[in-house]
Amino acid sequence: MALQEKYKELIDAATASGATNLLVREEGGVLYIDGEVSSGAVKDNLWNIYNRIDPDFRGGDLVLNVNVGGIADGDKLKVVTESSNLNIRKGPGTDQPIVGKAAHGEVVTLVSKTSDQWWLIKTDAGEEGYSYTQYLAPVE
């Protein structure tokens, strides 16, 4: 129970964000938080809270297994940058060259979820590459 108290802010934030299939359990001195959230931005917020509680994730007492759910290959996604274009890169990482851009509000197609942070997308104009998931949301 002590770990649930330590990570109460994180658990509360996951609950408040509407995380589905949320499962919180302690096992062998480790707290496991599993579930699905609606967007990369929500997931990033949870990781930021985790880092605030346990700077640089040194405690080794939490496994945060939260995925962006409800999105499958072929689904349409909306670019949700503040106002600028979203960079589309040759590979998954900011060190990769930019091969295209998607405008704020533009709808793109998910080709595949490469990782939790980078998804392979394709624009209607045919540009294909990797974009940071924080700036992509399901089309409602």
The reported pLDDT for the residue numbered 46 is 93
Could you tell me the pLDDT band of residue 36, with boundaries at 50, 70 and 90? confident
Distance CA 99, CA 5 (A): 46
Q: Where are the domains of the chain?
A: 2-68, 76-138
Work out the average pLDDT over 4-20.
92
CATH architecture of the region 76-138? Roll (2.30)
Could you tell me the pLDDT band of residue 1, with boundaries at 50, 70 and 90? low
- Dmax of the chain from CA atoms? 53
Distance CA 102, CA 137 (A): 13
Work out the average pLDDT over 18-34.
91
Indicate the pTM of the whole model.
0.56
CATH number corresponding to 2-68: 3.30.70.1770
Rounded (10°) CA dihedral 81, 55, 38, 113? 80
Q: How much of the chain, in percent, has pLDDT values that exceed 90?
A: 62
